Structures are given as structure tokens and as C-alpha cells.
Structure 1
């Protein structure tokens, strides 16, 4: 299956960001595309209430979209076992036209890698390989390598201890040359075969596919001598037996490998420094893929649809590495650049969900009851039950149609949802500060503004010192010039503002003098994008 297109909202997502991603993925899939909803952060209590209400699982969590080893690796690989022979290795290299092959155990555990160079080095040293005692060759390896048939013998896993000899001399001479435990290549010379058995050779390899005399087989069985009949002539057997060495004797065990989640940007330097052609990708000790350094040059980029934001500073980390194919949003344009023309649906409404719902109807795609519930929830959340100045008549009309499909009473359901999201008992000061946090470039300053809507703002303000410390921690970690927390009262339709950072005097220039406790009370302020960001931009210009 091809890679999906991900539809994803902003970091520290709110209900609109999550629900619009799910609903837009539904629309795109209904139109025949392969789209997967995703999220760029934790689910907040309000959004959890919404998802649980309609039996929908949270979207896939994607904290960044930097390309990783798993994005550029081959999952279909040629492998070899350590007990396979060099002959089998050569066959695989020729058949599949590869330069290196990972060596794995039966369970897929990576134990080494073997290359054409390793094989060539063994062929260069071929004459020194006739003594098989140090190579770990067993009878099974010889049998496979010579394509032989076992006439008699014991355990095929038994290691070879003798040298390889060719019975090319007279019987009397052979008796002086061969030693007990040797491996002897011999044709259809019964007398020589019997002599070898009498001397105590470990194995007779009968070349030319000649039959074995009954007396020879009987003597071999009595002496415990292996007999292997092979279809090749003696010369070919002498050459091929050198290829019976197991791969484990020539493989490299110090393998440069990567984990599936290693960033491509991090592994490039290793690849450049080491210069190998292929690199195994290993997870929990098991081989899961192989990276070809040539394929690493141009990895396939993830395709992304952005919803509920269009600024790089608010997007998931690594957005510059992805291919943005669509944007559906209701915020100001944030200067995000794309490499080619894309589809953009941008409207001045109170919620992205309003746009997504109407796109369903415009394309004659039916909205299921649960998706209608998500979209309605997102509109209620972003417009604070239509109390925010960002709400429009289109939001209200859309919400009415969605409520009919979802069979919900807007006012009752909306209050229940907002109450569920305003419970802060289980939230730490850091959680509160990170709730729906968005990053803005205001003049020369990078400002993080988070907003939490609650029934009782005073309960939050009791944590003022801890909240300011959390703002300070976020600013220092992310190198923000300023961090602002908006605590919005749902019932009294007002906002309390806390901040940390520079420039000194910015908040006073934008909103006048604050209260003695170091907070600002902003009556009637419900919208971050319409009532907080614009005054800050004007204040920066004046300063």
C-alpha cells in the first residue's frame, strides 16, 4: 500500500484541530484518497470528552515528520544464514545482483554482514583453504555445496577435522599420502576406496556420480566412514569444496546498523564516513530493513494536509521536510511557503470545522452522526458556544444542521462539553500553560500564547506563581521572547492575562495597566486571534 497523506492540526491541539483533522480525513477518503488523521500533541480534557462521547479513538500521534531510517529502508531483503556455504552466498549475489547480504539467524536476529569483497578475498586465498579444520565446515555444508547424496554416515553437523586429498595416485602411494580423518575425493576405483577406509579416512567423496560397490559401503558402515556421492568430476569437486566454508567464517560481525526511528539527517554523516553500500536497520536485535545509500539521496517526503493553522511556528516539527498538499484554515495567513501551487480553503469563520462541514455538503458527501458530533463540538469549542467575537452566522447555521444530524441540543451539550474541558483538578501548571499553546511571530519577537477556557477563572489564578514559573520554563526551553497565558471565563465572557518575558512594557502598551497582582483583566475578550494578537502587533509597532 502507498504511503498515506496525513491531515494534521497545530501543536498543542485543541478540539477544533483534532476534530477537523478526523472529519477532513473522512471527506478525503470518501472521495477516494488515502488520508489518515493525525495529531501533533496531547489530547486535552475537553477533546477527550468529545471523542469519548462519539466513540472515536484519538488520531495517530506524530510529534515530528522528519524522515527516518524506516522511511528510506527496503523491507524486502535478501538474507543468508551463518551456516549457509560460500557457494550459496555466491549464488545469491549473482542471482539478485547485490553487493552485500545481511547474515541472520533463523529468528531474524542480525549476526553479521557479508560482501562480495569478503567472498573475493576467500577465492584469492583458495589454496590455503584445503585444510578445512580451521574453517568450521561440517558434512552438511559439503553435502549442500557439492549437491551430493549421503550414502552412509552419521551426524551431518559434525565438523571436518582432516585435510582434503585427491586420490590420483596408485593404491600403495595413496596409503602413504592419506591420513586418518582426511576427506578423499575418488572416482570409481574400488580398491582405492577400500584402502582409504582401511587407513581410517573420515569421508569418501565419490565423484562422477559413480555407484558405490556393496563391499565398499559395507566396509564404510563398519568403520564409521562417511560416503557422499556427487554428480561432479574430481576437478570440479576440488574447486567447489572450497566453497563449502560456512558464511559465519567470513562475515563481518562489527556491523554499522541503524534503528528504524533514527533520523535521516543523523545517519547521513555515518554513511558518508563509512562508505558502505548497504546498512541494516535493526529493531530489538531483529533485521527489519536495509538502507541503500543511493536511495538515501532523495527520500520520499510525507504528504501533509494542514488544518486549523498555516504558520510554520505552529506546525508539527519537521514540516519543512514534508510536502504540504492542502491547507484548510480560518486564521490569519502566516507566510508558510510551498514548493508548488496547492489547494487552500481559507474562510473568516469561527472554526475550521465550519469549513470542513460545508465542504462535505458542497461535494455531496454524507456526514455520519458521529462525525457530525465532532464537527459540532469543534464549532462550539472555538466559538465558546458562540460567545466569541470570531463566531459568524455561518458558524451558527452550520452548527444547527450538524446538531440535527447528531441529534443533539446545542445549548445543553455545549455547556456539558465546556464544563468537562474546564476541570483543572488533574492538570499541572505546565499542562495549563501548554493547553492550546500557539506560537506567533510578532515583529521581531517570538511570542507563545496559550488559552484555557474555564467556568471559574479565579480557581486558576490561585496558581499564579506556579503558572508564571511554568511560562518561564517554556520560554527558556523553546527560546520564546515572551509567554502569555489567557484564562478565559466562559460564563462572564472575560479573560485574565498572565505573562513572562520581554519586551518590557509590551502588555501595558497593548492592554493598558494591569492589576496589582501582576495580571490583566480583559472584559469581553474571548478570542486570541481577534482580540489579543492584533493589539500586540499594534503595540510592537508603536514600541
Structure 2
């Protein structure tokens, strides 16, 4: 085994998040600084390590060696802004699996399959192994491919794509695209939750003369299936030709209204039900608060883990506090905690504090954050919250993020909540 291969094998053995340097590798393996430097650069192209400003070079290869998804070769080429070197006829095919080539060539056999896409650098042996298993190839680092490989790929209609980006960046772009598609398909809307129950709806023509037992404080009025408005159930017995005058505020949702929009409506107006109305005015049905505020599983990422599970496995909850050690997957390119991940921690803390106070149906209306110091990778963080003001429909929650007793961030949340009956 060459010194270069020995260094790559050593990097393979390091855990995710481990820091490495030229001097460290040279001293540990007894090789020259030049050999260590070249090997680290090759490892970066392969997606094994990443250099972060003010942090250093860290092992970043994911534990999962592949990404599951449903993108086509053409979609991948578009999002990475790549160049098709061969196999253009197969671009419209759907990819069964994305395989990160940051492993030994003989280990690829475990993952390669027909219709997969191998993400790899300038490794001809791995590229040939992909074609033998009828997998496409995405070559990172701006490299091309041998003429024989391109000829074979063309004959098999297997796309060979080249990009100037490194393996880690390409995998991140693809993961983000898959997550975006997943979020679009998994967004819960009123159309998914709508139900049609007669005890919430009164048709002034169809139900005229019928005995009606309302199931809520408000009743939805229709006429031949067309939505008219919402009326207090206590006013039903007084219905006459002056129906519009008896209507309360006209609060409706469309089938495309999101879950967050429904939560906002119900919290703001203290409603149990909201009518769902089609564009042509037809009543589709109603959504009930129990469905809108029900706890739901978070969306799954390509790795099979949910977006919340990755963070929740690191969280420790203590009364109105959340303790966490900032892991590499939570940081941005500068090694500081990403704002999106910090917001997720705040939302998780809000859930803990409100649930501890018997509040389960709520909506975060306003969130203001003030960052005082930067939170770095591997830093121990404690986030605690206190309810400052509790009204009939709203509450104010103060959040403070501390590390070693020092304040790093503060946040103020205005939250609408629904009184459980």
C-alpha cells in the first residue's frame, strides 16, 4: 500500500466531526507534509473531509453511504449545473439510489444497482464498476472520463455527468433538492384534513324543517351545497330571509390552505372548526381542531432519519430547558450554528414549555431573535424559556441561550394558543 493510500485509509477510519491537519497526519503516519497535503486535498474532492474557515479541516463523510430519492438524471444535472459527457439518451430515467463513492472500490458492490448514480472523483476502477452494474456516473472535481468508459456508457444509455464541485458539495445539493421535493409533497393542507359531517353543516333548503342538533358553537350554512357563511348555532332557530344579517365573521379556508395557516386561524379566532370552500363556492367540508393540532411525525430525510430525529437524539430536556451539544450537521460553512437549526431548537423549547403548562394547541405568531455571540461547533448550549405574560388567547415567551453561564442569544415569542375545553 502506498503512503497516499495509507493516509486515505486513515481518514476513512476517523469519526465524523474529527479534526485533521497536515502536521497531525505526518506525525501520526510518519510521512512527509507534501504527501499529507496532497492526500487531504484528494480526500476533500472525494467528500471525505471539508475545510471550514476558522475551524479547520474535519471529517464530514456521512455514516450513510447512499442517498435514497426519486430524481431523474436530468434533474440532477440541472441542479448541479453539470456537463453530460455521455449517455444523454438516459437522462429522463429516474435514479433509484445515489451512491457516494467515498469508499473502497470493492465495497461499492454492496450499493451499486441498476439505475443508481455513483458520485465519485477521478477513479476509473470505480467508474468501470458502476457501468458493470448499469449505474450512471457523476464525476466530481471537474475531471473527465476515459474514452473507453464514455463509449461503454453511450452504448448502455447510462449518463456520465461531470461537475467542477467536490463530492461533499454535490451530495449536499442533491440532498437539499430531495428534501425540498419531499417537503412539497408532504405539506399538509386543508384538503388533506377536510371532513364532511352533517352535524356541523346546515343547508337552508335541503334541511328546511328538519330537526338539527349542532355539534359546535358555530354552524356552517349552505344553500344547495354552496357556502353562505357561518352562524352562531344559538341563532339557528331564528333563521329567516335575513340570513346575511345573522352571519358571524366569514372565516374560511381553501383546500390549499396549509396546516400553519389553519392553526393561525383557529388560535386567533378561538375556533373548533373552519369551513373549507372550493373556488366555485362549493363547500368541501370542514376541518376540526383535533386534526389541525394533532402531533405529527416529522418529514423523513433521504437517509431514513427524520429532520427532527437527527437533532432530538442529541437533546436533553430538563424542566423548561433544552441542553444540546452543537454537532457538525447543525453548523453553517463558518462552523457556527445555522440559524435554521437554532430556530428549530427555539420551536422545540416552546413546545416543552407550553406542554409543561398544559397548552397543546398553539401557533407561533411572532419570533424575534437577537444574537449576541456566535455559537460554535461542539459547544455545549442550554436554551431555557419563561412565560412572561399569559392572556386569554396570547402569551409571551422569553428564550435565552447560554453557554458556560454566558448569554449568546435571546428571543421573544408571541404565541396564540387555544383554550382546551
TM-score (norm 2): 0.30
- Higher-Rg member (1/2): 1
Bigger fraction of residues in strand: 2
TM-score (norm 1): 0.24
Bigger fraction of residues in helix: 1
